[in-house]
Structure 1
């Protein structure tokens, strides 16, 4: 998960120490480019494909982790 948090921090342009499950994505640079970059990051780190529509509905990092875990089980 640390690799994912580091990649996400880079995408939304914050320090990795700021990334936590409670982090609200809307408070940072969470735009369409960030969503696309996060899709690629999830694929790279977890070998899981998520769609942009589902990822765009995520409000927090915990929501993204839950989405990844749901996709892993499919």
Structure 2
């Protein structure tokens, strides 16, 4: 391998690494193209919100059932 071929190979590898980096982190110049890490963070936040909402609904349902049971006694 001569120096020119080696230089081209290194440039190609850097370009491929840039593509992988953009896929993981996202495009810093375009907010509409989030990467995998940002999408996972958003998914985790949505999951926590859903768990909180589900817990609130279970508590509310238990309180309503308890109120009916106490009223019947």
- Quickly name the TM-score band, shorter chain normalised: under 0.3
- Higher percent of residues as helix: 2
Give the number of the structure whose alpha-carbon radius of gyration is greater.
2
TM-score, normalization by structure 1: 0.24
